[in-house]
Chain A
Amino acid sequence: MHEQIKQVPRSRPANDSGIVVCWSCKGPVESGVLFCPVCEAVQPPGQLDHFFRLGLEVSFDVDQKMLDRRYFDLQRHLHPDRFATKTPRERALSQSQATSLNQAYEVLKDDLGRADYLIHLQGAEVPEGCNLINDQKLLMESLELREALAKAKTAVEVDALAGRAAGDIETCVEQLSSLFAADDLEGACRLATRLKYFRKLAEETRQARARLVDG
């Protein structure tokens, strides 16, 4: 029943022996598998990185179709209906597996989430709340664009700014791909910040557009 899962190739961190003990039958289990191959009990999610959890190479370039396929494939095996007759512990574990899988998927499917996560994996911190930046050029550019948006009165003006944001987001993602490939962490951090600002601009243009429609 779980053959498909076991066949998923996974990249493993070098310091990980990769073997844990099955909580149910006490036999050895490869860490990261959903089910014990001997007793078929669902395993705890453990502390796996998101790429490993979804059976993907650690890379910024993720094949979205592959990611979707892996995610839905794994999630199907964790459907609550499959655990209706199981013990409370197994039901709880399948729940936490599903939660971990959702978290990993949400992070990896998003370009910005994936970029921040990769930066985090490489040891640099990406604070959630306040990280002041001093990239004056980016700040000035953002300020001017947001001012232009605040002054925009027509749909054409707002759409032009939306187009500008979309173009910049695309360029950021392309450049992030090359920077990660070249292990340029500092460059990637800078681009991830730029991406955040242009995402915000895109979001603001959508709101401005909605206001124009309403008005």
Chain B
Amino acid sequence: MAYSKKLLDHYENPRNIGSLDKNDDGVGTGLVGAPACGDVMKLQIKVGEDGIIEDAKFKTFGCGSAIASSSLVTEWVKGKSIDDAAGIKNSEIAQHLALPPVKIHCSVLAEDAIKAAVSDYKVKQGVGEKKIKAAE
């Protein structure tokens, strides 16, 4: 199967591999998996007070397309607002990397991971506000 140059580049030189402190209130963590292939993908975002994503990291154990999809998403979300990041569509990822049809589910996984990270961040912020109110 012929893979696109962009896909191979992200696979061979993945951007932003690593972890952020998941206990930090400004960090949202998304952990998703595709059992059919036994893939697991962790995507984390560090959000500034202005709601803009300052940093993003990922760790993916799976096929090359899953690694490339998550690598690409971490690159895309930096500098975006959390709502814009959550609006990333798997079709955009698949199109950018020219994923073959059998690998489309890898882009779905990456979309799900960023959505989960944003929602984790929002939950944390919500909980944080409640804590402050309770303290008052």
Residues of A within 8 A of B (CB): 127-136, 138-140, 142-143, 146-147, 150, 193, 196-197, 199-201, 203-204
B38 / chain A contacts, CB cutoff of 8 Å: 142, 196-197, 199-201, 203
Q: Are A129 and B31 within 8 A (Cβ)?
A: no
A204 / chain B contacts, CB cutoff of 8 Å: 61
Given contacts A143-B59, A197-B38, A203-B38, 4 further A-B contacts (CB under 8 A): A130-B109, A136-B31, A139-B31, A201-B38
B32 / chain A contacts, CB cutoff of 8 Å: 132-134, 139
Cβ contact of B40, chosen from A128, A130, A146, cutoff 8 A: A146
B33 contacts A by Cβ under 8 Å:
yes
**1-43 of chain B: CB within 8 A of chain A:** 31-38, 40, 42
| B16 CB, min distance to chain A CBs, angstroms | 16
Q: Are A130 and B61 within 8 A (Cβ)?
A: no
A-B contact pairs, 28 of them (CB 8 A): A129-B102, A130-B34, A130-B104, A130-B105, A130-B109, A131-B35, A132-B32, A132-B108, A134-B32, A136-B31, A138-B33, A139-B31, A142-B38, A142-B61, A143-B31, A143-B40, A143-B59, A146-B61, A147-B59, A147-B61, A150-B61, A196-B35, A196-B36, A197-B33, A200-B38, A201-B38, A203-B38, A204-B61
Main secondary structure of the interface of B (DSSP, over half): mixed
A128 / chain B contacts, CB cutoff of 8 Å: 36
Cβ contact of A129, chosen from B36, B42, B59, B112, cutoff 8 A: B36
Bound together, the chains give a CA A140 to CA B116 distance in angstroms of: 14
- Against A, the Cβ 8 Å flags (1 = close, 0 = not) of B37-57 are 110101000000000000000
Bound together, the chains give a CA A193 to CA B34 distance in angstroms of: 9
Main secondary structure of the interface of A (DSSP, over half): helix
Bound together, the chains give a CA A138 to CA B42 distance in angstroms of: 13
A199 / chain B contacts, CB cutoff of 8 Å: 38
Residues of B within 8 A of A (CB): 31-38, 40, 42, 59, 61, 102, 104-105, 108-109, 112
Q: Are B112 and A132 within 8 A (Cβ)?
A: yes
Q: Are B59 and A132 within 8 A (Cβ)?
A: no
B61 / chain A contacts, CB cutoff of 8 Å: 142-143, 146-147, 150, 204
- 9 smallest beta-carbon distances between A and B, as pairs: A200-B38, A130-B105, A146-B61, A193-B35, A196-B35, A129-B105, A139-B31, A142-B40, A139-B33
B35 / chain A contacts, CB cutoff of 8 Å: 131, 133, 193, 196-197
Once A130-B108, A130-B109, A147-B59 are accepted as A-B contacts, the answer to whether A139 and B40 lie under 8 Å apart by CB is yes
A193 / chain B contacts, CB cutoff of 8 Å: 35
| B111 CB, min distance to chain A CBs, angstroms | 10
User: Of all chain B residues, which has the CB nearest A140?
Assistant: B31
A136 / chain B contacts, CB cutoff of 8 Å: 31
Bound together, the chains give a CA A28 to CA B108 distance in angstroms of: 51
Bound together, the chains give a CA A42 to CA B109 distance in angstroms of: 47
Bound together, the chains give a CA A193 to CA B38 distance in angstroms of: 9
B109 / chain A contacts, CB cutoff of 8 Å: 130, 132
Q: Are B40 and A131 within 8 A (Cβ)?
A: no
B104 / chain A contacts, CB cutoff of 8 Å: 129-130
Bound together, the chains give a CA A200 to CA B59 distance in angstroms of: 17
B31 / chain A contacts, CB cutoff of 8 Å: 136, 139-140, 143
